[in-house]
Amino acid sequence: MAKIVIKSLTIAAVIIGLTASAWSQEINAGKTSYLSSCAPCHGADAKGNGFLGAVLKVPPADLTTLTKRNGGVFPLSAVNEIIDGRTLIAAHGTRDMPIWGFDVMVRSRITLIVDYLNYIQEK
């Protein structure tokens, strides 16, 4: 019985390790997508201080405080809808030619960015 328990614990540890590794890779992919698509306005640190922010009429939002500004809950749906264009943000442009579009590859990039933003929230 002890061998079965130890073997089960070892398998569980491997699964948890693989899951943590995959999650880490997903966060890195989200950060890469964020840096290429969002950082020019929102800044590499997501504090709203990107180099293009200075030319906007409305300063970019600090994306690290979304959870804090939403009563301690990350606004998952709202962030998705802003990024994919369902919620209009004037600085993101018109929906006639959306920044993202709606194909499968783009959807996965949006998910990666949203996960990354959730990960970098101030505690």
| Average pLDDT over all residues of the chain | 80
Where along the chain do its domains lie? 2-119
Sign for the CA dihedral angle at 84, 85, 86, 87 comes to: positive
Q: What is the pLDDT of residues 35-89, one digit of tens each?
A: 998 999 999 999 999 999 888 888 999 999 999 999 999 999 999 988 887 888 8
Residue 18 has pLDDT above 50, yes or no: no
